[in-house]
Amino acid sequence: MKYIIILGDGMADHPVAELGGLTPMEAARKPCMDMLAREGCCGMLETVPEGVMPGSEAANLSVMGYNPAEILQGRGVLEAASMGLKIEEGELVMRCNLICLDEEKRLKNHSAGHISSEDAALIIHDLQKEFGNEQFSFHPGVSYRHVFIAKGLDARIKCAPPHDYLGEFAAKLQITALCEESKKTAEILNRLTIQTQQWLPEHPVNRRRVAAGKDRANSIWLWSGGYKPKMWTFQEHFGIKGAVISAVDLIRGIGVYAGLKVIPVKGATGLYDTNYEGKAAACLDALKDNDFVYLHVEAPDEAGHEGDAALKIQTIEDLDSRLIAPLLNGLRETQTEAVIGILPDHPTPVSTRAHTREPIPFAIWGPGFEPDSVTAYSENLCSKGRYDLLKGDQFIKLLLGKTN
């Protein structure tokens, strides 16, 4: 038996007035997802335990069966693993966004206008030359998502995820210490951020972006820091060999620590223009040598952060028609028996443009999963499915048939 999780990041939502009170998922045309729900069984899953920030790092770890409250060290160190960076014991690793501040120093967006990886790499390279030293280092990732590594700093700090505070003044969102010993760390990191805000606006890349009518990358944003985590692998825990397919370093990094093979897909961007068809083909190919594939699509989350309901509907429909449909066709053509789970990691409502912690809807389809009363895939209908509310590792064990 093969097992596939299709995760539409941030796909769940709240009712939207402009959609007549429907959620984007309810408004979208998604016959494949609806079929999986109608012919499979459904329920709700808690992916963000109490006391844990509702980020993709915690939520995806939960979907895979890990307890984020016990092992989560921040997304920076997970993304560093995806990038092949060697992390030493005691090194603090943080996500380093390139962001855009408006003229009043408010967070205009968390992505510097979805800066290209090529432009971003030039900026990160020059940040390293200007501010890097034996203690600090900057490492380029994908688009606006990069990694900052520091020696001798304290992880006991509170940081603001930039995508959750759009429109807020940057000065009110500075890093704060959680204890007396980490005050110096907060001071150092805040000073470094302000220095980049003074240096970045005149960078050649930003001058070109302004001339082209694009947003500047005029500040770094350091957040989600932690140390190297200790995680079991899928082979150790479940006795299965697996792979992960994602355009996002965070998800690939989780895959590295989970012992999953990271499979790159040309044209996979993490945005609405991602290569859906390429991901479906890569999944089918991965199933030849693996028992399990974690197939992640970031696009709905980005649409939610932009507050664009129409775009979010498009990403859901593209996921359905351009990824799930060819994947199902490929499984039929190759006569591959598979159990498929479809779900988001967390809601990213277009009304708030930020992650929330509500339970998310899931559907599981395949041999051994008899239909319940759910007729289509949505937040409301899945809440009436066979599985009222799963927590912890109950979902992954159910999907993999490891409940006994």
pLDDT in tens, 173-226: 999 999 999 999 999 999 999 999 999 999 999 999 999 999 999 999 999 999
Q: pLDDT tier at 393 (50, 70, 90 boundaries)?
A: very high
307, 205: one domain: no
**pLDDT tens for each residue of 143-178:** 999 999 999 999 999 999 998 899 999 999 999 999
248, 388: one domain: yes
338, 199: one domain: no
180, 244: one domain: no
Share of the chain above pLDDT 90, in %: 90
CA max distance for the chain: 62
User: Does the residue 77 lie in any domain?
Assistant: no
Mean pLDDT confidence for 85-105: 95
Share of the chain above pLDDT 70, in %: 100
Task: Please give the tally of structural domains in the chain.
Answer: 2
60, 142: one domain: no
194, 262: one domain: no
Q: Indicate if the pLDDT at residue 404 is higher than 70.
A: no
**pLDDT tens for each residue of 250-275:** 899 999 999 999 999 999 988 899 99
351, 385: one domain: yes
Q: pLDDT tier at 73 (50, 70, 90 boundaries)?
A: confident
Q: Alpha carbon of 102 to those of 64, 98, 253: distances in Å?
A: 38, 13, 32
37, 111: one domain: no
Token pair in block for residue 123: 């900026």
Mean pLDDT confidence for 66-74: 89
Last residue of a domain, one of 226, 247, 267: 226
Last residue of a domain, one of 170, 202, 226: 226
177, 277: one domain: no
Predicted TM-score (pTM) of this structure: 0.83
Task: State the SS3 of the chain.
Answer: CEEEEEEECCEECCCEHHHCCECHHHHCCCHHHHHHHHHCEEEEECCCCCCCCCCHHHHHHHHCCCCHHHHCCCHHHHHHHHCCCCCCCCCEEEEEEEEEECCCCEEEECCCCCCCHHHHHHHHHHHHHHHCCCCEEEEEEECCEEEEEECCCCCCEECCCHHHCCCCEHHHHCCEECCHHHHHHHHHHHHHHHHHHHHHHHCHHHHHHHHCCCCCCCEEEEEEEECCCCCCCHHHHHCCCEEEECCCHHHHHHHHHCCCEECCCCCCCCCCCCCHHHHHHHHHHHCCCCCEEEEEECHHHHHHHCCCHHHHHHHHHHHHHHHHHHHHHHHHHCCCCEEEEEECCCECCCCCCCCCCCCEEEEEECCCCCCCCCCCCCHHHHCCCCEEEECCCHHHHHHHCCCC
User: Does the residue 88 lie in any domain?
Assistant: yes
Q: Alpha carbon of 148 to those of 192, 275, 344: distances in Å?
A: 11, 28, 28
Whichever domain contains 384, its CATH number is 3.40.720.10
Higher per-residue confidence, 124 vs 75: 124
CA distance 168 to 157: 20
Last residue of a domain, one of 174, 205, 226: 226
User: Does the residue 61 lie in any domain?
Assistant: yes
What is the residue range of 108's domain? 82-226
Mean pLDDT confidence for 38-67: 95
